[in-house]
Amino acid sequence: MRKLDIIPSLIARLVPEEEVVVHEFATLCLAHMATDYSNKAKIFELNGLEHLIRLLGSTDPDVKKNSVECIYLLAQDFQTRSAVCENNAVPPLLELLRSDYPVIQHLALKALSSISCEADCRLALKENQAMDHLLKILETKELNDLHVEALLIIANCLEDADTVQLLQQSGGLKKILTFAETSPLADIQRNAAKAIAKSAHNGV
């Protein structure tokens, strides 16, 4: 049986009526398969994205982890990124940043990083106070393994002048400048510098 032939069956198992263990298995399979372009297209075509976004609110951490990983992989394709935002995925993705599981936090950031490349998604991020969530991560030393990705999302969001102004007024730009000056990590310095450069380009 070809992999594409089992995708409809897996997506059919994502309905709320199924047991958590079924959700876990189906999302694990889909996350594994979503590394392939043709599989991604099939998952998207069969409305798998909507089910996966709903499962971000699952009580089971494995279901959450598999679902957000699959969404991240789907969002590698620009056609899917806008659909992620249109299906209101930003609020649950931001909520996952508070997860007790670092792997879930990291995958949520990677998904947010992908969708932040799109203008309509950046608007959704702004409307859902994404900057507050991201700055809290930067202020938490225990989350230093998430700082690189958080700064990358901030840099993407600073394509928009309104966000630049918002970050300037909140004191966020000063925090980013401090990161650029004090962090020993080259990736953090690079992304912080990128954010500062974009803010300058957009009129700060």
pLDDT digits (tens, 9 = 90+) for 116-150: 999 899 999 999 999 999 989 988 888 888 988 99
CATH class of 1-128: mainly alpha
Residue 86 CA to residue 89 CA, distance in Å, equals 8
Residue 68 CA to residue 93 CA, distance in Å, equals 8
Closest CA to 67 of 145, 10, 124, 127: 10
Q: Where in the chain is the domain with CATH 1.25.10.10?
A: 1-128
Closest CA to 16 of 68, 71, 58: 58
Asked if residue 204 has pLDDT above 60, the reply is no
Asked if residue 185 has pLDDT above 80, the reply is no
Give the pLDDT score at 2.
52
Token look-up 């004191």 returns 171
- Classify the C-alpha dihedral 115-121-127-128 as positive or negative: negative
Residue 13 CA to residue 65 CA, distance in Å, equals 17
User: Distance between alpha carbon 201 and the CA centroid of its chain, in Å?
Assistant: 25
Flag whether the pTM goes above 0.75.
Answer: yes
The answer to whether 94 and 112 have CB atoms below 8 angstroms apart is yes
Which two three-digit tokens encode residue 3? 């992999």
pLDDT digits (tens, 9 = 90+) for 61-89: 999 999 999 999 999 988 889 899 999 99
Residue 47 CA to residue 149 CA, distance in Å, equals 28
Reported confidence tier of residue 59, pLDDT bands at 50, 70, 90: very high
- The mean pLDDT value of the chain amounts to 89
- Write the burial class of residue 125 (CB in 10 Å: 0-12 exposed, 13-18 middle, 19+ buried): buried
- Write the burial class of residue 114 (CB in 10 Å: 0-12 exposed, 13-18 middle, 19+ buried): buried
